[in-house]
Amino acid sequence: MDLTIKSARFITSAGIGSELPERRPYEIAIVGKSNVGKSSLINSLCGRNKLAKTSATPGKTRLINFFLLNEEFYLVDLPGYGYAAAPKAEQEKWGRLMEEYLSSGRVSHIYMLIDIRHEPTALDRQMFGYIIYYGIPYTLIATKADKLAKTKRRQAANAAAKLLGAPPYAVAYSSETGDGREELLNRIDAIVHPAEEHE
């Protein structure tokens, strides 16, 4: 069964110590380094151009942004990491915010984004370590797949996952062309409707 995104709306932003929105049964968080394409992926998945604000300036998202899809579950945009120009205090605040959220018990699944064109960074590996530490189910997504020839995408995505220290599989995704969108929607469907039959 294919999941159709019928509605998507921004609910709230949350910082350290902020009250988080009322829980829903499922919460899928999206994480990745600054400028890896988190906002573009959210817009592409939801079929909305301006749902999540995209910026040419890395490190723009400093808060956790909650989006409610189909009035049923949250898609959560987490602040990007690894923006070198961010002050140290800002980076420490990011660490506390992430720890607070990931340890909250709210997160059903994490979509971790890595750039298909580059080897994962030390911070990518650290982030992956957090996901394993907190025991949160995850899917790796290799973004900007349109920058590579179609014949090279699958191999590059899987190689990036292996370099991260994960099993060698990642979904090759392009927000520009929608490549990989159907696979991600099917995965979301399996997460938010686990009791239903998935042929």
Q: What residues does 112 pair with on adjacent strands?
A: 31, 140
Residue 54 pLDDT: 65
Q: Catalogue all structural domains in the chain, each as residue range(s) with its CATH number.
A: 8-192 (3.40.50.300)
Q: pLDDT tens, 51-108?
A: 887 655 544 557 899 999 999 999 999 988 876 666 777 778 888 888 899 999 999 9
Query: In the chain, pLDDT over 90 holds for what percent of residues?
Result: 70
Asked whether residue 199 carries a pLDDT value surpassing 80, the answer given is no
Asked whether residue 20 carries a pLDDT value surpassing 90, the answer given is yes
How many C-beta atoms surround the C-beta of residue 136 within 10 A? 16
For residue 102, CA distances in Å to 28, 121, 165 come to 11, 21, 20
Mean pLDDT, the chain, rounded, equals 89
DSSP 8-state class, residue 113: E
Sheet strands (E) in the chain: 8-14, 27-32, 64-69, 73-77, 109-115, 138-143, 171-172
- Please spell the DSSP secondary structure of 154-182, one letter per residue: HHHHHHHHHHHTS-S--EE--TTT-TTHH
Under 8 Å CB-to-CB from 187, ≥6 apart: which residues? 139, 171
Q: Are 78 and 84 in contact (CB under 8 A)?
A: no
Q: What residues does 129 pair with on adjacent strands?
A: none
